[in-house]
Each structure stands twice: as structure tokens, then as C-alpha cells.
């Protein structure tokens, strides 16, 4: 489920996962004094997953924006053609 939340644009799951991610990073920062290679690799992986999720959400946001624009064009067309049909 966690790997798919961004791909599915499940905003509620993403919000919970982001809060969990932030708490884990804060805990890591408080507890770890010296970052070894494994820890550094893990933080790098978290950063990459975070960047990927942000990209997926941006893609979904743009897709929804285009869908809303198309719906608005459709509504305007219906209004325009409806007034023409009524005049006949």
C-alpha cells in the first residue's frame, strides 16, 4: 500500500505517510550522532521516494486541472448551443 499511495493519488494515505516520514526523520536526527554509509543510503532512498511522490502528485494535479478546463469548455458549449436551439 505504501508504495502505491502516490501513484494512486490517495491524498489521505499520503498525508499520513508524510507525517510518519517526518516523525521518523526527526527521531533519526535526534538519535544518530554519526551517519554511517547505510544510514546515509537510507536517507537518500527516502529523499528519492519523496521526490518521486511529489512528481506523481504534481502530475495528478495537472491532469485534474486539464480535466476541469475541458469540463468548463463543455459547459460553455452546451450553454452556447442551447440558446441557438431555442431560437429555432
Query: pLDDT tens for residues 5-54?
Result: 555 556 788 888 888 888 888 888 888 778 888 888 988 888 888 888 88
Q: pLDDT of 47-84, one tens digit each?
A: 888 888 888 888 988 999 999 999 999 999 998 888 77
5-13: list long-range contacts, CB under 8 Å, 24+ apart: 5/53, 6/52, 6/53, 6/56, 6/57, 7/56, 9/56, 9/57, 9/60
Amino acid at each position: 500500500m505504501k508504495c502505491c499511495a502516490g501513484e494512486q493519488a490517495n491524498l489521505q494515505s499520503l498525508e499520513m505517510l508524510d507525517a510518519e516520514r517526518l516523525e521518523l526523520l526527526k527521531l533519526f536526527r535526534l538519535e544518530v550522532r554519526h551517519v554511517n554509509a547505510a544510514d546515509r543510503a537510507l536517507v537518500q532512498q527516502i529523499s528519492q521516494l519523496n521526490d518521486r511522490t511529489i512528481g506523481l502528485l504534481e502530475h495528478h494535479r495537472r491532469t485534474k486541472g486539464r480535466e476541469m478546463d475541458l469540463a468548463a469548455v463543455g459547459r460553455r458549449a452546451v450553454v452556447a448551443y442551447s440558446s441557438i436551439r431555442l431560437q429555432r
